[in-house]
Structure 1
């Protein structure tokens, strides 16, 4: 069944949860996996929420609680998206030559631009999450931020978005999600966020819009500079979306 393969692909790729390998990986399965990305990330978001709740219960400082929660999410996703963020930053900062930029991204070692970008984005995420914890809605903010980041994957893989390379994860998932489905994921995400307990309805919606906006800006930049997406670009989009959503939710 393709749905089963899509679930296994989403969970096995985006988390450390052990699952059997998909029997078939084609464009249909790949697209469905990107749509199901937020579902696959629910266990990560739940763990982060439990850490925030537990840290608050024992009186840990807000920043420490936020760092522990976000760190658990990164460990639970193998640091996959952080690696993509660093590689994408290095590639975009290395050269205006497309081939050279893609070569830098393929190497996998983090250069100064990648390291600086990682530090900046992680500081924004942790600081914003700490603000939400201090304001009393840290659990909701962390869960919503983590899931919003994964929701943007369907947008980045929507029909019409090309792959920067003929091989790799980007080539497998690029353009694999029908545009109406990608739009639908965003609408559902905003509708669910509007119902988030402890927040005014508009704040949840604004967080989703901010997350999508940040990921979309990066996506446009990468398509123009690199010719399309790679697996690294997808990971980078997730991280900037989480940061943007958490900033809105920190208020």
Structure 2
């Protein structure tokens, strides 16, 4: 992303590189994308400053994994105590939703209302900006939550506790990275708004984030018993989902918004979890 001088002025304490810069990016990504309590770092002068999206991109996969970690831990405990897979997965998804503040789910609901409406580009953007949830938004959000719960429960039933927890954490990080493809390829659909103010993702940062996301997901999945082919299928289905979201967003609203990015994250996470479940022997 290309940041304005105003954005740089908001972060006078930014280290240029090194562990401090990465720690700062991770802390601010967690503050922006979650409700998790993140204390001020010892070298951080203003913990409430707006994050530098052009740098924070690199740590977004790790932030996504940490956001899903409480849900994965609850899943492990619930299944270990003998709770059936569906209620255990429901609790895990609920905790993950609370940890994230429903940021991406809100974007998904807004996109369902806007893209399902009749009218031109301006009308769709106006509906997307409206915070009220309509019938398309409610239906889309309900179906997505049902799919996430059923997929996590299915993985737990067929592959075990560790495989389900690893899938929940790994796919949360991977999906948050791959959804950024839209910011790399599409212009903001509005001249104002969260996506426009964030700027464009730089290709180098997207690649760095991708390496982190894929390596983290691969380590988690392989250690939990998922095979190498499962990882390849995850990337194929999640990537195809993002490509379809890109085509749809370009055709209907002429670009991307924060809501579109959030919806893409949700759909690509479902695609990735589906890929894992497909390859587990019944």
Give the TM-score normalised by structure 2.
0.80
1:173-219 per-residue CA deviation (whole Å, 9 max, x = no partner) reads 342x2224324433543344333211111112322332232123112
* SS of 1:88 mapped into structure 2: helix
1:22 Cα deviation from its structure 2 partner: 5.0
Poorly superposed stretches of 4+, deviation over 6 Å:
none
1:57 Cα deviation from its structure 2 partner: 0.6
Contact 2:66–2:169 (8 Å) recurs in 1? no
1:173 aligns with 2:198: yes
1:247 aligns with 2:271: no
Contact 2:174–2:213 (8 Å) recurs in 1? yes
Range that drifts further, 149-158 or 101-110: 149-158
Instruction: Give the direction of change, closer, same or farther, for the CA distance of 1:6–1:156 in structure 2 (3 Å limit).
Output: farther
1:116 aligns with 2:135: no
1:186 aligns with 2:204: no
Instruction: Give the direction of change, closer, same or farther, for the CA distance of 1:225–1:146 in structure 2 (3 Å limit).
Output: same
- Give the one of 177, 182, 191 matched to 1:151: 177
Alignment-derived partner of residue 232 in structure 1: 259
| Pairing of 1:43-62 with structure 2 (within 5 A) | 43-62=66-85
1:149 Cα deviation from its structure 2 partner: 1.7
1:207 aligns with 2:238: no
1:103 aligns with 2:126: yes
Contact 1:163–1:170 (8 Å) recurs in 2? yes
1:11 aligns with 2:30: yes
* SS of 1:157 mapped into structure 2: helix
Instruction: Give the direction of change, closer, same or farther, for the CA distance of 1:143–1:8 in structure 2 (3 Å limit).
Output: closer
* SS of 1:94 mapped into structure 2: coil
Alignment-derived partner of residue 140 in structure 1: 166
Q: Distance in 2 between matches of 1:220 and 1:141?
A: 27
Give the TM-score normalised by structure 1.
0.89
1:23 Cα deviation from its structure 2 partner: 3.6
Contact 1:34–1:153 (8 Å) recurs in 2? no
Contact 1:161–1:228 (8 Å) recurs in 2? yes
Contact 2:106–2:259 (8 Å) recurs in 1? yes
* SS of 2:116 mapped into structure 1: helix
Mind listing any 5+ residue stretches in structure 1 that lack a counterpart? none
Range that drifts further, 180-189 or 68-77: 180-189
Alignment-derived partner of residue 34 in structure 1: 57
Contact 1:162–1:223 (8 Å) recurs in 2? no
Q: Distance in 2 between matches of 1:122 and 1:219?
A: 22
Contact 2:93–2:149 (8 Å) recurs in 1? yes
1:9-30 per-residue CA deviation (whole Å, 9 max, x = no partner) reads 41121111244545465xxx21
Mind listing any 5+ residue stretches in structure 2 that lack a counterpart? 1-13, 16-20, 41-46
Q: Distance in 2 between matches of 1:55 and 1:129?
A: 13
1:238 Cα deviation from its structure 2 partner: 1.1
Q: Distance in 2 between matches of 1:209 and 1:185?
A: 17
